[in-house]
């Protein structure tokens, strides 16, 4: 029988003595699980960013008559509604003027004055419509728009004259809502139009 050589016994895999022993394939599974966790976190962050971007005012809020279309107005239906030459009905977004007489109902106070104001305003130069990025049509299918002549907006001018009330409950531009609320407040403080009819 051969004799074993004297001295230090050699192990088949000396490096294993310095490592924590794991079952076969556990290291691969551990790496895969870490990778999977990283992907899940990345996906969650992307979903969160998508939701935040959806709430962000994008596209940019309208502040002037840029990116608008030149139109021809056929007639003024009332203070806040006009009809274009192609038959399209356009409702001024964010404002509400007194109603003219219709269907057996009498005209509301200052309805004629609001309609006349709109006629005169639109007759003063080329008319441009600007669409809002958030609301395009009302429940009656009318196009919603900011109506501009040069650098003046009819929606805002009606509010400043006290011939309309601001409608801030709808989902249009927050920038425009603030602008309309300020215009209405100016008319209230000066007691113009509708606000002159209110008791002090």
Is-catalytic flag, 8? no
Is-catalytic flag, 99? yes
Q: Which residues contact 7 (CB under 8 A, 6 or more apart)?
A: none
Own/partner long-range contacts of 146-153 (Cβ < 8 Å, ≥24 apart): 146/62, 146/65, 146/68, 146/92, 146/93, 146/176, 147/82, 147/90, 147/92, 147/122, 148/65, 148/68, 149/121, 149/122, 149/124, 149/125, 150/125, 150/126, 151/64, 151/65, 152/121, 153/65
**Total number of residues shown for the chain:** 200
Nearest to 111 by CA among 79, 82, 142, 139: 79
From the list 91, 128, 165, 179, the catalytic residue is: 91
Is-catalytic flag, 169? no
From the list 108, 113, 142, 167, the catalytic residue is: 142
Tokens of 168: 């801030």
Task: List the alpha helices (DSSP H) in 56-197.
Answer: 111-122, 154-160, 174-190
Nearest to 73 by CA among 163, 147, 133: 147
Residues involved in catalysis: 91, 99, 142
């Amino acid at each position: 029988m051969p004799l074993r050589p004297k001295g230090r016994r050699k192990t088949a895999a000396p490096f294993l003595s310095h490592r924590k022993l794991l079952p076969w394939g556990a290291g691969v599974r551990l790496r895969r699980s870490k990778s999977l966790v990283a992907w899940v976190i990345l996906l969650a962050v992307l979903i969160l960013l998508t939701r935040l971007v959806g709430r962000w005012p994008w596209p940019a809020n309208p502040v002037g008559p840029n990116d608008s279309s030149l139109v021809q107005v056929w007639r003024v239906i009332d203070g806040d509604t006009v009809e274009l030459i192609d038959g399209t009905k356009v409702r001024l977004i964010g404002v509400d003027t007194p109603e003219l007489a219709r269907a057996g109902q009498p005209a509301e106070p200052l309805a004629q004055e609001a309609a006349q104001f709109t006629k005169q305003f639109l007759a003063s130069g080329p008319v441009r419509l600007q669409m809002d990025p958030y609301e395009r049509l009302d429940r009656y299918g009318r196009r919603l728009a900011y109506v501009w002549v040069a650098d003046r907006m009819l929606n805002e001018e009606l509010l400043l004259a006290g011939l309309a009330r601001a409608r801030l409950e709808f989902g249009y531009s927050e920038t425009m809502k603030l602008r309309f609320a300020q215009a209405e407040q100016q008319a209230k403080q000066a007691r113009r139009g509708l606000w002159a009819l209110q008791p002090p």
